[in-house]
Structure 1
Amino acid sequence: MVAAPRSQADVNRTAILAHLGSQGPASRADLARALNVSPALITQLTRDLLADGLIEELEAASSGGRPARMLGLVSRDIAAIGVKVAPDHVALVEVAIDGAVRRSVTAVFDAVSPLAASRLIELVGDFVSDSESAILGVGVGLPGTVAQQGIGVVDSTQLRWNQVPLGEQLRRALDLPVVVENNVNALSIAEQLFGQGRDFDNILVVTVGNGVGAGLIADGAIVRGRAGGAGDLGHVPVREDGPLCQCGNRGCLEAIVGQSALVTDARSIRLLGPDEGIDDLRALADAGNDDAREIFAHAGHQLGRAIAGAVNLLDPEIVVLSGEGVEAWAHWSLSFDRALRSALVPGKRGTPVAVERWQDDRWAQGAAALVLATPFDAQGVAGDQGRLVRERLVASIEAKP
Structure 2
Amino acid sequence: MTIKHSGRRDLAIINRSFWPVYPVIGEALLRLAEDLAGGKKVSVIMQDHADIHTSLRKGKRGANVEFFSGKAWSTSASGLFVRALDAVYFMLWVVFALLRSRPKTVYVSTDPPVLVPFVVAVYCALFRAKFIYHLQDIHPEAANVVIKVHPLLFTVLQRIDCFSMRRADVVITITEEMAEEIRKRSGTRSPINIEGNPAVSFDEVSQPPNKKKGLTFCGNAGRLQRIPLLIDSITQYLDAGGKLEFAFAGGGIYSSALAELAEKYDEVDFWGQITPAEAAQLNCNYEWALLPIEDEVTRYAFPSKSSSYVFARTAVLAVCGDDTSVAEWVSSQNLGVVCSPDVASLVGTFIRIESGELCSADFDGDREGLKAKLSFDHFVARLKSSIPVGEIG
Query: Does the pair score TM above 0.5?
Result: no
Higher relative contact order (CA 8 A, sep 6+): 1
Q: Which has the larger radius of gyration?
A: 1
